[in-house]
Amino acid sequence: MTPGQCPLCGSSVALLRHADSRAPKQILRERIASLRRRAEELVTGELTPRHLKDDALWMCPACRPIMADVQPLAPREMQRRIHEEVRRLERDGHERAS
């Protein structure tokens, strides 16, 4: 991730600095792919729950609830919440396309 991006989904959190020229469908696809990648990193140990909790302040408004009130820092619970967000995004994306 780069500065100005959500450490969980990769979406821009610094829109005031620069406009995002990508199409909404592309942004959605990239966000879903990033969330899936982060969930996999939790399983493989490349990403720790502590690291995500430490970065929660820099997350976009959509990702902050995923990290809220996860006690203890349980990788499976974080992974479940990430997958739940991916399903919601996919469902919303299909409804917009209809």
Contact 49, 67 (CB under 8 A): no
Task: Write the pLDDT tens digit of every residue in 69-79.
Answer: 766 667 888 88
The whole-angstrom separation of Cα 38 and Cα 82 is: 8
* Confidence (pLDDT) at 70: 67
- Region class of 10: left (phi > 0), else alpha (psi between -120 and 50), else beta: left
pTM above 0.95, yes or no: no
Model pLDDT for residues 21-56, shown as the tens digit of each residue: 778 888 889 999 999 999 999 889 898 888 888 888
Strands (E), the chain: none
Give domain limits for the chain: 24-97
End-to-end Cα separation, the chain, in angstroms: 32
The SS3 call for residue 16 is coil
